[in-house]
Every structure is written in C-alpha cells, then in structure tokens.
A and B are shown apart, each in its own frame.
Chain A
Amino acid sequence: MALLELKSISKNFGKLQAVSNLDLGVTKGEIHSLIGPNGAGKTTVFNVITGFYPATDGKVIFNGEDITKLQPHQIAQRGIARSFQQSFFFMWSTVLENVLIGFHMNCRAGALKEFLHTDCARKTDREARKQALEIIELMGLSRQKYELPGNLPHGHQRALGVSIALACNPTLLLLDEPVTGMNPTETKEMVERIRKIRDKGITIILVEHTMKVVMDISDRITVLNYGHKIVEGLPDEIKQNKEVIEAYLGREEEEDAA
C-alpha cells in the first residue's frame, strides 16, 4: 500500500508552472529519491507535500487521508517531517534544546496540560530527553549537544536539521539535499545514518544532486524535469535511461552555448 500518494499535483506561481500533473507513489519502508536538474521543481514538491505551498491542483494522500488542504503544523502532527535545503535551526537554543523542541510539540494537542507541569508531563520530559540523546547520538552530534547551532560547521548544521525532523517521530521523512556541501567522509557517514533511519521503519523521500549517493541508497527514483515527471524506476534503469541523460546533459549544452 502506498504510504504517500501524489495525484496529478500541479503548482504554479502565476504564469510559472513549477510542477505539472505529477503522480507519485511512495511505499512504506522505502527510500525514494527525487532527482532532476536545478529548477525541476523538487523542493516545490516537498513544500506542497508539507503544506508550505498550497497545491494549485491535485491531491496529496497520506496514509489514506487527504492532506492537501492542511496547514504545515497539522501535517507535521500527522507524521511527516522534513529537513530544509538551507539548514534552519533555533539559533538561541543549544543543539539538545533544538532537538527537544521537536519532541514536545509533536502530537501534543493539549497545551494546557503541558503548562501545568503535571507529573505525567515530567515523566515524558525524561523520556523525551532520553530519545533526544539517542537521536543526537545517531546523527553524530553527541560532542556538540550543548553548543549553539550558529557555531557549528556546515555539515553538523545539516545533521542538526535532520535531527530536529527526527524528533517529531515521523512516519515519513523528507530530506532536502542532506549531503550537499559535505566532504566525502561526511557524505559516507550521512548515507550510513540515512540507512539506519530507514531500518528503524521510517520511510524516506530524498532530494539530492549527488548521483553517487542517490544510486547507492535509493530503492526507487523519480526524475523530474521542468516540473514534469519524465521517468520513475529502479536505480539501474534510471542510470541508463536516455531521457534522463538528455535532461542533465541537455542542460549542460545550453549552458555551454550561453
């Protein structure tokens, strides 16, 4: 059964058609990659799924529920978390506090219970702290847990972004270019971590430009170009697909000519 389904999703900004008629299905437990040249609409798809952009047309169905018209925080509460291309973090809190926020906010409908500092709340505080430390351990940030995010190197900031998303206990994790700007060692470590996340049962949609990573880790790949899906399939198929190669190489020719 498909965990996430996009049915004929279109998104335009005035005259600019960012995404056209996209059909996408993501099965539970897989790592599904979304690739395409710059400007193909990949981040737009993420923004539509998570509710940051309202879809111009089409439906987003998650776990059988139509989430197209929901607000970002409602979608997050239903189990979809994401990391951002530009690492966002809460700059005035430590790494540990950053991750803790994800725990405290998700799936908590009753804010009043939390304000009253009940015993139940305190116990869950301890639980949350334990789980937050586990996530920090997984993402390799243990030594920096009391640092301010602004002081961290780029790679660690990216890892923090993923950690914050993981703190929401998601069923589906959207990773937007998690290894961009990392050196080969960091990249290898991040790939391992993504695998571990999948092994915990979290479904992952990955947007990446580093082809090696994409081919290595994905179960299935969808390729976008100018907002259209041009092909979808297994990594080996995609590698050899003529249209895909043209989409990437064709771009290079245009840039050469310009």
Chain B
Amino acid sequence: MSRIAKIALGVLVLLLIAFPLLVNPYTVQVGITTITYSMLGLAFAFSMRVGLPRLDIGAWWGVGGYTTALLMKTGMSFWLTALIGGIIAVILGFLLFSIALPRGMMAFFIFCMVLSMAFYQMFGSVPLFGGWGGILDVPAPTIGSFTFINKPELYYMGLFFLALTLVVYYLLYNSKIGRAWAAISSSLKLARSVGIGVVRYRMANVLIGNFFIALAGSFFVAYYRAAIPTIFSFQAGAIVMVYLIIGGFMHFLTGPILGALIATFIPEFVSRFKGYIEYQSIAIAVIVILILMFLPLGILGWVDQRVKPWLYRRKWYWRISRWGVKEEREIPA
C-alpha cells in the first residue's frame, strides 16, 4: 500500500475512534445503530458469497437479543449470554436449514422469509419472551467493575464487535473455504463437478453468519437495554440487503458498511429538516432508486469502474501516491 493510502487509512481509523468526542450524544446513538446495521449487512453479504440471499436476519438477530435479555435478567454476564446466543443460533439454524438448504436457493429464500415472520410472531406471542411489550430493564453489560452505560462506551463496544466480525469474515473469505464459496456463487454446476460439496459449504456459511447475527442482537439489546419484538421484525432484518446494493454488491466487506452509513445517516439528516419520521423510509427508497439508476454496481462498484481508471490517468495522482516511497534501486559502488 502506498504511503498516502496508509496515511488516509490511519486518519480514517482515528476519526472512527475520536467520533464520540467530536459529535453530540444523539449522533453517537446514530453511530451505534449504524454499527449494528452494518454487522447485519455484512452477514447478508456473507451469505451472498455462496449465492444465497437470506431474508431471515431479523429472526437470528432476535435470537441473540432475546437470549441476552432473558439470561442477563437472571444475572448472567453479558459476554456469556452473547456467546450462548450465538451457539443457540447455530444449533437452531442447523436443524432448520437442514430442511431447506438441500432444496436449492429458491426454497431457501422462501424458507428464510417464513422463518423470519414465524420468529417475529413467536417473540410477540410466547409469554417467555414478554409478549408484545417485550423484556425491559435489561441490565447494562459489565467488565469487572466497569459498566457500559454511556453512549460513547457502548459505541466502542460496538466497534469491537464490528472489528471482530470483519476480521473473521476477512480471514474466511481469503481461505480455501472462501474460495469454495466464491466458486459456488460463480458457477454452481462447475463447483459440483470439481468436488465441492455445495450443501455442506453453504451450511457452514449460513451457520457462521447466524453466529455473528446473534452477536449483533446481543450487542443491540445491551445498548437498548430492552428486547422488543418490533425491533426484530422481518422488515428490519430484510432491509439490510439495501446496504449491499448501495455500497457495492461485489464488495462484501466494505459495501455493507458504506451502505449502512449512507442509509442510516441520510434519513436521519432528512428527518431533522422535514421532521417527519415517514420521510426516512422515503429517503432510503429514493437513495436506492437513484443508485440503481445511475450507479447500478453500487458506489464502490462505480469507484472501481469509473473513478479509479480516471484517477490512474492523472499525473498528479501518481506523484502523490509515490510521495515518500523510497526508490528501490541499488546504486553499485
């Protein structure tokens, strides 16, 4: 990576870390929701890597959230509840997906939709989950004697979970498993004919995704201090696919984060001017329509296709990017 790119990246990371200190507390809250939604968006992109658009994210988000809510009320440590929530999501996912996965992408798609709605109903109707009012007054997470109560503290906790998700996804994408996944999404028949057990690899993928979706659920409940069914609705889980469209649908790690940023902050901004909450949905719809019309490959796709080649043709770009890079030629004595 060129020196200038390293500096830019460093500045970005610094901004991310300094964010709570630079803005008012309400905006930090928006930042926390953005982090949660980007984790969900990353999970959607994760399943797209094996050619499966999953609409069940709301369900597993709820599994993690309610596990944390219920278990923390009995006094368990937040971190343990998060782990347990993830494990439950994986086991339950395995049992349920064993029915749908062998039947193909379409069956899986519809199954996920139904699953999400069924879980939503379950969270609302079954008394264990507190009914439609949900579970309130969930205690705040702690490490030792430190309690995560203030928004900036929760923001950093969120960054931790986001970073964890990104690292694991990145390692997996670049492993042999990741290459098998890429093969599956690229050409199903060919992947089968070179010995890739498609169902097996897909199952591994969605189960890993389940774990991290549940983790996002646990984190969100820790921040919100309550678990209410309407948070984990089908629509809330399904909307995250929009992030991939906005950010760039071939960019599985950066796309959803960029998309989440845009789809969360712009509607917020709009609602401040217009003052109607309904305008938020309209804002997202307008953004998506504009992207599909003008930048069909998403913002990062557009950058790859148009901006980068344009940039590479500018002399000043090369001068800047070479700045500070030592010449690697040895001058013989």
Q: Which A residues contact B (CB, under 8 angstroms)?
A: 50, 52, 71-74, 76-77, 81-82, 84, 88-93, 101-102, 104-108, 111, 114-115, 117, 121, 164-165, 167-168
A92 CB contacts on chain B under 8 angstroms:
182, 186
Q: Which B residues contact A (CB, under 8 angstroms)?
A: 171-172, 175-177, 179-180, 182-183, 186-187, 189-198, 201, 204
Interchain pairs with CB closer than 8 A, number: 86
A167 CB contacts on chain B under 8 angstroms:
194
B193 touches A165 (CB 8 A): yes
14 pairs, A vs B, C-beta closer than 8 Å: A76-B192, A76-B194, A77-B195, A81-B194, A89-B190, A105-B180, A105-B191, A106-B195, A111-B177, A111-B201, A114-B176, A115-B172, A115-B175, A117-B175
Report Cα–Cα, A212/B190, bound state, in Å. Answer: 29
Which of B177, B191, B193 gathers most chain A CB within 10 Å?
A: B193
A90 touches B183 (CB 8 A): yes
A111 touches B193 (CB 8 A): no
Chain A residue nearest to B102 in the complex (CB): A71
Which one of B171, B179, B189, B198 lies within 8 Å of A88 (CB-CB)? B189
Which one of B172, B175, B179, B204 lies within 8 Å of A101 (CB-CB)? B179
Leading 5 A-B pairs by shortest Cβ distance: A114-B176, A76-B195, A72-B192, A88-B190, A90-B186
Which one of B172, B187, B204 lies within 8 Å of A90 (CB-CB)? B187
B198 touches A84 (CB 8 A): no
B182 CB contacts on chain A under 8 angstroms:
90, 92-93
How distant is A178 from chain B, measured CB to nearest CB, in Å? 15
Which of A84, A104, A108 gathers most chain B CB within 10 Å?
A: A104
How distant is A54 from chain B, measured CB to nearest CB, in Å? 14
Report Cα–Cα, A84/B187, bound state, in Å. Answer: 12
Which of B172, B191, B204 gathers most chain A CB within 10 Å?
A: B191
A90 touches B176 (CB 8 A): no
A168 touches B175 (CB 8 A): no
Report Cα–Cα, A55/B182, bound state, in Å. Answer: 30
How distant is B298 from chain A, measured CB to nearest CB, in Å? 16
A50 touches B193 (CB 8 A): yes
B193 touches A72 (CB 8 A): yes
Report Cα–Cα, A104/B186, bound state, in Å. Answer: 16
- Given A90-B183, A92-B182, A101-B183, also A111-B176 (CB < 8 A): yes
Chain A residue nearest to B250 in the complex (CB): A92
- Given A90-B182, A114-B175, A115-B175, also A84-B196 (CB < 8 A): no
B194 CB contacts on chain A under 8 angstroms:
73, 76, 81, 101-102, 105-106, 164-165, 167-168
Kindly list 6 other residue pairs between chains A and B, CB separation below 8 angstroms, not including A88-B187, A165-B194: A76-B193, A77-B195, A91-B187, A92-B186, A111-B204, A167-B194
B192 CB contacts on chain A under 8 angstroms:
52, 71-73, 76
Report Cα–Cα, A24/B110, bound state, in Å. Answer: 42
How distant is A202 from chain B, measured CB to nearest CB, in Å? 16
Report Cα–Cα, A142/B8, bound state, in Å. Answer: 38
A90 CB contacts on chain B under 8 angstroms:
182-183, 186-187, 190
Report Cα–Cα, A50/B189, bound state, in Å. Answer: 11
A168 touches B195 (CB 8 A): yes
How distant is B114 from chain A, measured CB to nearest CB, in Å? 27
Report Cα–Cα, A141/B180, bound state, in Å. Answer: 23
Report Cα–Cα, A73/B196, bound state, in Å. Answer: 5
B186 CB contacts on chain A under 8 angstroms:
90-93
B180 CB contacts on chain A under 8 angstroms:
101, 104-105, 111
Chain B residue nearest to A103 in the complex (CB): B194
How distant is A103 from chain B, measured CB to nearest CB, in Å? 9
Report Cα–Cα, A114/B171, bound state, in Å. Answer: 12
B175 CB contacts on chain A under 8 angstroms:
114-115, 117
A115 touches B176 (CB 8 A): yes
A82 touches B193 (CB 8 A): yes
Report Cα–Cα, A90/B196, bound state, in Å. Answer: 13
